[in-house]
A and B are shown apart, each in its own frame.
Chain A
């Protein structure tokens, strides 16, 4: 079994716990042990883009120091926003020796960060294993389940922190095919869900969610798959306007765990507003896998 450092972030310990429970189980079934970092802290959630606001990068940097201390060359994240923020901070200090020295002076109670840790998203980790290796481990193929991958923003943009092409990503499509699902290519898959603007302008999220659900539905999808807790909240818990139909919203990890034969309660641990069970039941995907 391969061991890798794992950074969960705050959402996966709270409302997005379903993403983590399924993700850890799927990794275990693929022979990967994700070892949670000790003393991790908030990544900062968003990357501060201004030259005058570098102090906000300290949260992410401290986590990278934790990875360095634990002796791992890489750290795996499942949350799209954590991945993005950690990567962008890492990129910035790596590309600028003065910036790295300055940030190390800011946190002089910590060992100096050497800039050597790689931030790896869970999907990249699966992709590195390869579609064939994953397909070989599938015990409950997602046959007939029509899923539209929804990338949102932070998995693919900006390109320096993205895990695939910013306008035409393909990584979730490749993995879904390996899991046996029917992939639906939705034109809205890299368009923003409204992100945190739901805090101050709640109505904006319904409008964005309606557009995204509508587009995926018109493309023939029965469900959306995402890796971002904020997208999942906006698309599922908030969702389209009340009089409009809403698709099931899965965390991608839930579909991986399901296909790899995990028990449905491990795959569907967190509360989803739109219950995925009826859809999965009609596809025979809640039954014990056939040996």
Chain B
């Protein structure tokens, strides 16, 4: 009998992983776009928050390839403004956690020029590293 323990056969669908991590049900999103229209980091995102949620609803497993969760500043504005009560910042956090569990950090002291590193306040460095390193 062949026993397979590879990740391929037992992988939990991305939407389920995200929903468990953020303790939110994203099925109620009706794509009004309020989260994205008020997003301060929207201009630098490759997929807006509502687009990420739509992709998750559709079960698109490659949704982790977008840089948006690493551009999100966790300002909580989208969560306050969602008419369906979805805590969108938690959805973004869950996408970050899924990404970090793959073992890849998205920032590190070595990625920042030394002169800039000395000028950055610890509140910014610690906050960013808490969000973008595992």
Contacts and interface: CB of A to CB of B under 8 A. Distances in A.
Interface of A: 10-11, 14-16, 42, 44-46, 48-53, 56, 79, 81, 152-154, 157-159, 166-167, 190-192, 194-202, 204, 207-208, 229-230, 233, 237
Contacts of B23: 51
| Chain A CB within 10 Å, residue with most, of B70, B74, B125, B132 | B74
A158 B79 contact: yes
B73 A195 contact: yes
Nearest to A42: B126
Given A50-B21, A157-B77, 4 more contacts: A10-B126, A48-B93, A197-B128, A207-B43
Q: Is the interface of A mostly helix, strand, loop or mixed?
A: loop
A6 B2 CA distance: 62
Contacts of A198: 120, 124
Nearest to B125: A199
A189 to B, nearest CB: 12
A204 B67 CA distance: 15
Interface of B: 20-23, 40-41, 43-44, 70-71, 73-77, 79-80, 87, 89-90, 93-94, 96-97, 106-107, 111-112, 116, 119-128, 130-132
Contacts of B71: 197, 201
A72 to B, nearest CB: 25
14 contacts: A45-B126, A49-B22, A49-B74, A50-B22, A81-B127, A157-B77, A158-B89, A192-B73, A194-B41, A195-B124, A197-B41, A198-B124, A199-B112, A199-B125
Contact of A158 (B20, B76, B119): B76
Given A49-B89, A229-B121, A233-B123, A196 B128 contact: yes
B80 A196 contact: no
Given A50-B94, A159-B80, A195 B111 contact: no
Given A197-B41, A200-B111, A44 B75 contact: no
A51 B21 contact: yes
A197 B106 CA distance: 12
Contacts of B106: 200
Nearest to A198: B124
Contacts of B89: 49, 158
Nearest to A47: B74
B74 A195 contact: yes
A206 to B, nearest CB: 12
Contact of A167 (B40, B80, B128): B80
A159 B125 CA distance: 25
B122 A11 contact: yes
A45 B130 CA distance: 8
A53 B97 contact: yes
B124 A48 contact: no
Nearest to A157: B76
A196 B97 contact: no
Nearest to B106: A200
A193 to B, nearest CB: 8
Contacts of B124: 195-196, 198-199, 230, 233
A53 B21 CA distance: 9
Nearest to B113: A202
